[in-house]
Structure 1
Amino acid sequence: MGTTGRRVGRPRAERRPDSGLSARDELLAAAAELFTLRGYAATTTRAVAERAGMRQATMYHYFGGKEDILAELLEGTVTPSLALARRLLAAEGPASAEARLWYLCRSDVGLLCGGTHNLGALYLLPEVRTERFAGFSRVRLELKEVYGQLLAATETCGSLGKDGLALRTDLVFGLIESVILVHRSGQDRPLEVFAEATADAALRVCGAGEETLTAARAAAAGLSASLV
């Protein structure tokens, strides 16, 4: 029949080295690179498709447009932290709330700053405040609420009233997200050192003293196995 061995599927604009990624993930990777390096507004869907080695029409097979791609990228920076936060909240064991909070803060910073591209910087885009990104906003709010629950379980914040706890939650959550800007201006810092220093600062915002902080760091080291 003359078609044996033909590759079935939509054509690509050019051949690219095999990345091992699906076409959808290649588009997300290309968009992450272009959005963070060139800027979201300056990046066209054609540029994203070409960077992924596809035709623009092929890109629309996977995404409706730039906003859909951005929304998925943003949600991908939050959903893993939310899943971890829920496991930390539900985990059984002797680890204190301070240790769990420290572990979450360190992990969250690692996620925000550990990728190839600083996707957290996209949080600052004015487009993110529109209704299209309600899904991202909802997941982010759920993560913030778990931060609040962990804070409420700590010795120093547990006795605060509703307003006091809300303020501490805003401060701690704001600190974690502020690493987006700090990391952008100092990317040569070792990530592990940066993440641990931020987690230390978060507990200090909670009112934890050095003894509590040292104990939390030590206990956090044993949490990984219990979360598997």
Structure 2
Amino acid sequence: MTSAGPGRPRKQQPVRPGATARDEILDAASELFTSQGFANTSTRAIADAVGIRQSSLYHHFGTKDDILAELLDGTVAGGLAFASAVHGGPPPSDPRTAAARLHAVALYDGTQLCNARWNLGVLYHLPEARAPRFRRFMDDRRQLRQLYRELGQTVEEFAPAGPQGASSCGDLLFRLVESLINLRADGLVGADSALETADAGLVLAGMAAELDEVRAMSAGLIRKFG
């Protein structure tokens, strides 16, 4: 449903971005969950932040867990779709093409984490996020991590081992990208943080000399699949 039905009037004019009341609820919940915590946020507080009655919120989401599930799913969905598209393309025939695929996935994923309106990645650390209710999010996150690993393994076939060994670059880069969540929480993310993180993974894989060309090819993949 995209709007409240009869008998569920809004207390005030919309104050949140979003095309629908549901979008506004998600935006308010995002702010409150990331600023004061999931457990400390009530559905009444979310409704008040949107300017609707609490009963209207339940018209869109049955429980607070339902809101969290949609927010968690949204943090992974875009990166997973992009990584799947890149991974499903023609197999690389040289080290630069292999590295560009991994670089593009990390850059796209990191950019989403850095530029989203709210730093929803902090919700990954919630104990609630490990509950069976949120299995789809956990499955999607595991799938995204596996794609990083497989793209990294392709780099390993071509690249000389760096200080950490190219065989670990996919999983290492996944961890580096997710570290942007904590850096953002500490106010340490800048305009180039996602690019610097993607670059770092390739440098550790022994691809420093090819980095300029890899960056250009990575940008092309983002234009194509992003």
TM over 0.5: yes
Unpaired segments ≥5 residues, structure 2 = none
The alpha-carbon distance between structure 1 residues 226 and 183, as it changes in their structure 2 partners (threshold 3 A), is same
Q: How far 1:118 moved relative to its partner? A: 0.7
Q: What amino acid maps onto 1:123 in structure 2? A: Y
Aligned with residue 57 of structure 1, among 55, 58, 62: 55
**2:143 paired with 1:145:** no
- 2 CA distance for matches of 1:9 and 1:216? 57
- 2 CA distance for matches of 1:50 and 1:56? 8
Aligned to 1:110: 111
- 2 CA distance for matches of 1:106 and 1:91? 17
Question: For 1:208, what is the secondary structure of its paired residue?
Answer: coil
8 Å CA contact 2:34, 2:123 repeated in 1: yes
8 Å CA contact 1:36, 1:121 repeated in 2: yes
Question: For 1:173, what is the secondary structure of its paired residue?
Answer: helix
Question: For 2:155, what is the secondary structure of its paired residue?
Answer: coil
- Quick check: 151-160 or 131-140, which moved more? 151-160
Aligned to 2:185: 184
The alignment of Structure 1 onto Structure 2 pairs a total of residues equal to 216
Q: How far 1:215 moved relative to its partner? A: 2.3
- 1 CA distance for matches of 2:73 and 2:167? 24
Q: What amino acid maps onto 1:106 in structure 2? A: L
- 2 CA distance for matches of 1:219 and 1:138? 30
The alpha-carbon distance between structure 1 residues 144 and 93, as it changes in their structure 2 partners (threshold 3 A), is closer
**2:194 paired with 1:195:** yes
Q: How far 1:19 moved relative to its partner? A: 4.3
Q: How far 1:171 moved relative to its partner? A: 2.1
- Identity score, percent: 42
**2:73 paired with 1:43:** no
- 1 CA distance for matches of 2:68 and 2:58? 14
The alpha-carbon distance between structure 1 residues 96 and 69, as it changes in their structure 2 partners (threshold 3 A), is same
For 1:134-183, what per-residue CA distance to the aligned partner results, in whole angstroms no more than 9, with x for missing partners? Answer: 110011111111111211111457899xxx88854432211111110012
- Quick check: 7-16 or 111-120, which moved more? 7-16
- 2 CA distance for matches of 1:57 and 1:216? 52
The alpha-carbon distance between structure 1 residues 159 and 187, as it changes in their structure 2 partners (threshold 3 A), is closer
Unpaired segments ≥5 residues, structure 1 = 1-6
**2:134 paired with 1:133:** yes
**2:119 paired with 1:88:** no
8 Å CA contact 2:177, 2:194 repeated in 1: no
Q: How far 1:41 moved relative to its partner? A: 1.4
- 1 CA distance for matches of 2:121 and 2:87? 24
Aligned to 2:218: 220
The alpha-carbon distance between structure 1 residues 223 and 93, as it changes in their structure 2 partners (threshold 3 A), is farther
- 1 CA distance for matches of 2:16 and 2:131? 36
Give the TM-score of the pair, scaled to structure 2. 0.85
Aligned to 2:155: 154
- 2 CA distance for matches of 1:59 and 1:156? 52
Q: How far 1:40 moved relative to its partner? A: 1.3
- 2 CA distance for matches of 1:129 and 1:18? 29
The alpha-carbon distance between structure 1 residues 197 and 18, as it changes in their structure 2 partners (threshold 3 A), is closer
Q: What amino acid maps onto 1:117 in structure 2? A: W
Q: What amino acid maps onto 1:37 in structure 2? A: S
Q: How far 1:113 moved relative to its partner? A: 1.4
**Which one has a bigger Cα radius of gyration?**
1
Question: For 1:82, what is the secondary structure of its paired residue?
Answer: helix
**2:125 paired with 1:124:** yes
- 2 CA distance for matches of 1:57 and 1:166? 53
- 1 CA distance for matches of 2:172 and 2:91? 27
Q: How far 1:116 moved relative to its partner? A: 1.6
- 1 CA distance for matches of 2:75 and 2:87? 20
Aligned to 2:32: 34
Alignment root-mean-square deviation, CA: 2.6
- 2 CA distance for matches of 1:107 and 1:43? 31
